[in-house]
Amino acid sequence: MGAQLRAVRARIRAVKSIAKITRAQELIASSRIVRAQQRMRAAGPYARELTTAVEAVVSRSTSLSHPMITRPASVTRSAALILTSDGGFCGAYNANVLRESSRLRQRNTDKGIATLNYVAGRKGIGWHRFRDLEIVQEWFGFSAQPTYAQAEELAAAMLDAFEKDTADGGVDEIYLVSTEFVSMLTQRPVVRRVLPMEIEEKEGERPGGALPSYEFEPSTDVVLDALLPQYVASRIYYAMLEAAASELAARRRAMKAATDNANDLIDRLTREANNARQAEITQEISEIVGGSNALAEANAGSE
């Protein structure tokens, strides 16, 4: 066997091994994404109802000036909670999120606002460390299967920074940088301001109907003190569930593309191996024919 043929067959074996790995990753992601979508759909109604309750509290209070819904006159420090994945093999999923976080950081810098990085996911942590970007707090190990307890831990850290004065290391606002799950084929990175809440006044009827009317005891401030931490935790939890589903969908799509590319490469290398083998066979036949002719000529000369 020639050296070229041996090299091509070695590449074929290597590519087949890679194809098995990518195919396995694709199947694993396909089996897990259904569960991730179910968890996301199950958490959706709770997040919407809690948001509705907070909106109702705010809308029924004309003189409310709670710090969690009132934007400060001047913003000097901002916190960004960045949700990335713990594992790779998910295409541009992490790159898109980190690109959005860089844009947010640049916008804040242009306005003279310092950005504090809170990062969840090993990929995001490694990306920030490689670029010597300071990380205030980091979490990892739950990107594919987040729990509400982990969301509460992240929310507690963000609220702790928000409740502090900026002179003591606190922040004026909190942003959440994550990935929105649109469909199995579409996931887009988004930047949302979590605190202070963004209150939008719109004309016409509300899509979900009129907001419920509440009576507050002892006061709306006390109600918001109890309600808004749960609101922040639910927002973060739902974003984590969306990010988990987006990560699995991106991994499934990336691994399918990798498997298809590996199969195409195997076909091309197989044709190359066949051509090399045919060339070797042709050369061997030529050598046999040449040797036979030389032997016949030698025998004819001796006679």
Write the pLDDT tens digit of every residue in 98-111.
Answer: 999 999 999 999 99
Q: Is residue 188 part of a domain?
A: yes
Q: What CATH number did the domain enclosing 190 receive?
A: 3.40.1380.10
Q: Evaluate whether residue 150 is within a structural domain.
A: yes
Long-range contacts of 58-66 (CB under 8 A, 24+ apart): 58/197, 58/199, 59/211, 60/211, 60/213, 60/214, 60/220, 61/216, 61/220, 64/220, 64/221, 64/224, 66/220, 66/221, 66/224, 66/225, 66/228
- What does the mean pLDDT of the chain come to? 84
Query: Which has the minimum average pLDDT: 155-159, 176-180, 284-288?
Result: 284-288
Task: Give domain status of residue 296, yes or no.
Answer: no
Q: Is 157 part of a structural domain of the chain?
A: yes
Residue 101 lies in a domain: yes
Q: Is residue 290 in some structural domain? A: no
Domain count, the chain: 1
Is 288 inside a domain boundary? no
* Per-residue pLDDT tens digits for 42-88: 888 888 877 777 777 766 665 566 667 777 778 889 999 999 999 88
Q: What is the residue range of 106's domain?
A: 26-198+213-255
In the sheet with 77-83, reading across from the earlier edge strand, the strands are 135-139, 114-120, 77-83, 173-181, 187-195
Would 204 be classed as within a structural domain?
A: no
- Residue 209's pLDDT is 54
pLDDT in tens, 14-50: 999 999 998 998 888 888 888 888 888 888 888 887 7
